[in-house]
Structure 1
């Protein structure tokens, strides 16, 4: 089952035409990723004391506009868990309509900014969420 997060489209997300300005979707994606790590018991505020998980790559397909007041549901699936990387798919839906789908790769890094293996406890928390692919890079 995908991790889900509710997101109301707020005024701050919209352009003058009243639709979501596309960079705001990337903020929503990051909020969903952060909420997922909270759900795992590894909140960013603790994780970022000893490392970080920046987005190394992201690809997004926008399929329908979202408007001020829409109630989105962002679903996050873990598609791959590598030695230091994590593949994700994030989909936003509203009333059964897909608004965007994004594929992203996060990388666990040291405070010096170098890729490093996932800490054992974090890897153990991520493994049950991997969908349809063998672990490893």
Structure 2
């Protein structure tokens, strides 16, 4: 299963030419992962924070493939690639009407924000994330 989120490119995302300023993609990626945990996994970042945990970004690798412009509707497709003891690696593809705009691989860590110590995923979160695990296509 793939987690999908659609968002329209807004004025605040763009440079004076009306093209998405690349650091704004990282804000969009953060928004997609936040919605993934809230809507896909069933535990919002606010709920995690109340229990003393967070999911800081440990690594992100992004390729920008084509510009996005003010008013474009972007689809973000997130799939879980790997779930570790205290990390999860996801692949996110950003498209507009089937044209690839960017792709990224991001690893988030389940951690205590106060001391940055990682902690194992609770079984309920691990099971929920597993539903979005990438399923290789058969040749």
Report TM bin, short chain.
over 0.9
Mapped partners of 1:129, 1:93: distance in 2: 19
Q: Which residue of 1 aligns with 2:119?
A: 116
Q: CA deviation at 1:132?
A: 4.3
Q: For residues 11-90 of structure 1, what are the structure 2 equivalents within 5 Å?
A: 11-39=11-39, 40-49=41-50, 50-90=52-92
Q: CA deviation at 1:41?
A: 1.0
Query: How many residue pairs are counted as aligned between the two chains?
Result: 133
Mapped partners of 1:114, 1:85: distance in 2: 12
Q: CA deviation at 1:112?
A: 2.2
* Aligned residues: CA RMSD: 1.2
Say which SS state the counterpart of residue 89 (structure 1) adopts.
strand
Q: CA deviation at 1:120?
A: 1.9
Instruction: Tell which deviates more after alignment, 82-91 or 103-112.
Output: 103-112
**Cα 1:41–1:100 shift into 2, 3 Å:** same
Listed as ranges, the gaps of 5+ residues in structure 2 are none
Mapped partners of 1:78, 1:100: distance in 2: 17
Mapped partners of 1:22, 1:73: distance in 2: 16
Listed as ranges, the gaps of 5+ residues in structure 1 are none
Mapped partners of 1:131, 1:70: distance in 2: 27
1:9 to 2:9 alignment: yes
Say which SS state the counterpart of residue 31 (structure 2) adopts.
helix
Say which SS state the counterpart of residue 129 (structure 1) adopts.
coil
| 1:68-92 residue CA offsets vs partner (Å, 9 max, x unmatched) | 0000001101000000010111111
